Structure 1
Amino acid sequence: MQPTLLVMKFGGTNMGDSAAIRHSASLATRSLREGVKVVVVVSAMAGVTNQLLKLADAAQAGDIAAANDEIAAMRTRHFTAAQELGAAPDSAAVREIREMHETLRQAAYGVYLLRELTPRSRDLIVAFGERLSAPLMSLALEQGGQRARHLTGGEAGILTDTNFGNAKPLPGTYARVGDRLSGFLSAGVTPVVSGFMGETEKGAITTLGRGGTDFSATIIGKALHADEVWAWKDVDGVMSADPRVVKDARNIEVLSYGEVMELAYFGAKVLHPLAVTPLQDSGIPLRVKSAADPDFPGTLVQAAAHDESGHPVKAVTAIRNVSLVTVSGAGELGIPEVVSGVFNAISRENVTLLMVSQSSSMSNVSLAVPSSDAERAIRALRAGLPQELRVEEQSGVAVLAIVGSGMRGQKGVSAKLFKALALADVNILMISQGSSELNISVALDGAQVDDATRSVHAAFDLGGGEAAGV
């Protein structure tokens, strides 16, 4: 059935330069010419988010010259793209881009003067990537004969809490977005929304976490009751493994919301971990499509699982740069107050827990955390727990996970996983299985993760025959 309303998200690679932006605009235009209403949600140009983080850190460190050099390079890149997309030097688009770079320079200078980079200031600076790319997409659509209007996430109605850096939408967001964007659509204007960002009730800019443009798109999809949300990527869809590691990795035709959330959480970089949560109540499908092959159906993410007896596992994925933080002390950890103290300390520091395991003797508990968070986690644990307890770190770890709804109640899946790891001569440091039975995850030596991934992928025959889930 022909959709009547689509939300299309374009990632950084598909916004990399004027040619990529023009191609992305043509994908939206193709649906617009078929009478479909489209909302476009854009990421920053490829690499810009990292540049913004770099210049923010430079300003905090007192190196304002380095920060200004990054801003100058970004300004040249955005001006060049605008001109190549047909903007005149004195056009409104060029003036807007110039003004935003000046505001960015002032924000960086404020950080430099204070030598302080708060989460709120970081969000203000890093959101400039999407704020600068939206006018370029709007320009490309207009050059293709479409009427377009670009908006920040806040202007589009995305209202969030004040958890800067990892904000979540407030309940009133959906009505606001519907009210603000439906008028443009009714008037035949294509909204182009800066992804990854929203605003608080007081108007402060927030970001939704790395990769949050997916989340922006699904928030908008729910608000507008879209037929589908399309996430345009530089891959064919969600793959059975990282194709850079496993050469015969294949596209997965159908995934459930639960499966794709597990894959995203355990390291698959195709979608933001929370991207499907706005769609679950309304049952709106999400489709991951390849910008290089727009006629290929990609991966359909929907409410119902699509299982095949021969493929209880759909994919294998991994998180690298993990540390195991172990709290130990015989006779202490069995006390409920102590266990509570462990998790309270981690919660206060907003550290992501990837896995948790406790010994049967209750003498130790191990936490798998991103290595970037390990120092904060250890400091918090040592400050918040009795001195009798030891807190130790094992770095250089990775977490490997197999995901698939067909594992539920299926005998022999764990045995096959552990046999594959044994054949690859991989030592398992920690094991976890969710009660949903959608995944089994193991911690292992990070240096062995590629070999482990290839061995497990082959053991479950994920690269052979028809695509998994077909």
Structure 2
Amino acid sequence: MTILKFGGTSMGNENTWRQVLQIITRYEHPFIIVSATSDTTRQLIKTAKLALADPEKAYEHASKIEQRHQKLITNFLANVTITHHSIRKKCQEWIKKQNQQLHKLIAQIDAEKEINPATMDAIASIGEQLSSYLFAQCGQALGLPTQWINAADVIRTNSDFGQATPDLTYITNNLSAIHQLSADTIPVMGGFYGQDNHGNITTLGFEGSDYSASLMGAALSADAIEIWTDVSGIYTCDPRVIDEAYPIPELSFQEATELAYFGAKVLHPSTTKPAALKDIPIKVKNIFDPDAPGTHISTKVTSNGTAKAMTFKEEALICTVNSSHTVMGYEFLANVFKTLQSLHLPVDVVTTTEASVSIAIPPCSQLETLVEQLQSAGRIDLQENQAIISIVGCNPQQSTLLIKETLDGIGEDIINMLSFSHAKRNLNVVLNSDRLLTAVKAIHRKIFT
């Protein structure tokens, strides 16, 4: 079995749906995971926020989402040789049902004068509920044995709405909805969402459909997981920024995770975890060039030149804590990281001594609280408007050359933090955000071209 995940671009319109269905016919036993149609999740989130500020506009947004999906189905089925009246009717009824649910949730937000996390997840998941059911019906219209699976019946999570943690053991042991399908059926399931133990819809984090694909791959012990997007693999850097960027043939699970975490948009950061547990390879492929090799991700660790790829985060800040007490270093650091943990703040880059620590973190709404709580540990200095460049897959035998070429690429710009890990094979640089893109282009020229 091969898990095939198709993202928002793949689900963009009736033409890309046909391309995807053509790709599916290449496989003997595919299991399909789809994202919402292009931009739908963002529009749903916007609709939820409008429900709080301007309910009438929220209803208008809901109508536009409904109309867009109705148009997609009409256009797709218009080109089918044999008219499938029953399929058209099922699709129209499903779209109407999801729109009614969205209206109900808008009214709930308006009545409660707040958007609670559970309601936001219920709204955000509607895109995948729409696309997965409709795509399965369209597959049937073309004669494929596609069958919709409701992700809420399969993906069980905790109740951390917006960033729910899946229970892989439960998922693996409770696949009755899938096992009931006949051997020649092609399952189609929406990614991104699941359900907690109380029957509430949950989501796995923005762009979480990749994660869903990896979860299903691990649960079903698939032969491979393929992430289909609009680029031919994972590139040496974002091709929208670097014209000379090119696809990387191979990455390890750790390297792919590092790239995703530090800003590469191709994969969700948690995608590799379930696949790595079962040693299931992941491939990143291009729907517009299906014969291109793409990027192969596995447990294999290889060296390719000085480094394999680079990525960047455009927004960060540095929080430096200088100890004002004569305490043991481990106690000082423990207090700092305990504070970060209590506020659920992720740490991107760290440099430390016994009496001070500098931490690069994403901008956050809890910054004032963080500073207040850290003041007991020492003097706090903040540097805002920072950015992070991360170079991944570094060749340990060429670390000196790598650091030299990175510094040469940055030139006279001031580096605010520098961190190299031989074990993780990565180099992180924190610098002023207004110098980010210039530095990225210069470093890429030095190392990858």
Give me the TM-score of the superposition, normalised by structure 1: 0.89
Q: Map of 1:153-232 to 2, 5 A cutoff?
A: 153-155=151-153, 157-176=154-173, 178-184=175-181, 186-232=182-228
RMSD: 2.1
Aligned to 2:139: 141
Give the superposition deviation at 1:57: 1.5
Post-superposition offset of 1:320: 0.9
430, 439, 443: which one aligns with 2:430? 443
Q: Which among 340, 348, 355 is matched to residue 346 of structure 1?
A: 340
1:6 matched to 2:7? The reply is: no
1:334 Cα deviation (Å)?
A: 5.8
| 8 Å contact kept, 1:319–1:398 | yes
Q: 1:351 to 1:408 in 2, by over 3 A?
A: farther
CA distance in 1: counterparts of 2:376 and 2:282, whole angstroms = 49
- Where 1:398 maps in the other structure, the secondary structure is strand
Cα deviation digits, residues 239-258 of structure 1 (max 9, x gap): 00111221111110111111
Aligned to 1:85: 76
The question of 1:314 aligning with 2:303 is answered no
The answer on whether the counterparts of 1:408 and 1:437 sit within 8 Å (CA) in structure 2 is no
1:159·1:172 contact (CA, 8 Å) conserved in 2? no
Tell me, in whole angstroms, the C-alpha distance in 2 between the residues paired with 1:289 and 1:328: 47
**Matched letter for residue 76 of structure 2:** L
Contact 1:313 1:407 (C-alpha < 8 Å) held by counterparts: no
**Structure 1 residue 125 displacement after superposition:** 1.0
CA–CA distance in structure 1, aligned partners of residues 413 and 17 of structure 2: 44
Distance 1:340 1:266 in 2: 25
Question: Is 1:150–2:139 an aligned residue pair?
Answer: no
CA separation of 1:406 and 1:134: change in aligned 2, threshold 3 A: same
CA distance in 2, matches of 1:321, 1:435: 25
In structure 2, what residue type is equivalent to 1:106?
K
What is the aligned partner in structure 1 of residue 81 from structure 2? none
Deviation at 1:332, TM superposition (A): 6.7
Query: For the Cα contact (< 8 Å) 2:7–2:228, is it kept in 1?
Result: yes
Q: Distance in 2 between matches of 1:437 and 1:14?
A: 33
Distance of aligned partners of 1:303 and 1:390 in 2 relative to their CA distance in 1, 3 Å threshold = same
Q: Are the counterparts in 1 of residues 335 and 377 from structure 2 also a CA contact under 8 Å?
A: no
Distance 2:9 2:100 in 1: 25
* Equivalent residue number for residue 398 of structure 1: 387
Matched to 1:168, the amino acid is T
Cα deviation code 1:14-46 (max 9, x no counterpart): 111121222212211232xxxx11111011111
The TM-score with structure 2 as length reference comes to 0.92
Does 2:440 correspond to 1:458?
Answer: no
Alignment of 1:101-112 (within 5 A): 101-112=99-110
* Match 1:255 to one of 248, 251, 254: 251
> Judging changes above 3 Å, is the alpha-carbon distance between structure 1 residues 435 and 183 closer, same or farther for their aligned structure 2 residues?
farther
Q: CA deviation at 1:228?
A: 0.8
* Correspondence for 1:38: 30
Q: CA deviation at 1:137?
A: 1.3
AA in 2 matched with 1:344: K
CA distance in 2, matches of 1:176, 1:105: 35
State the distance in 2 between where 1:23 and 1:315 align. 30
Equivalent residues, number:
442
The Cα shift of 1:94 comes to: 1.2
1:388, CA displacement in angstroms? 7.7
Matches of 2:297 and 2:329 in 1, distance apart?
43
Q: CA deviation at 1:419?
A: 2.3
**Unmatched tracts of structure 1, length 5 or more:** 464-470
| 8 Å CA contact retained: 1:232, 1:289 | yes
Q: Distance in 2 between matches of 1:388 and 1:189?
A: 60
Structure-2 residue corresponding to 1:468: none
1:369 matched to 2:366? The reply is no
In structure 2, the CA distance between the partners of 1:232 and 1:382, relative to structure 1 (3 Å rule), is same
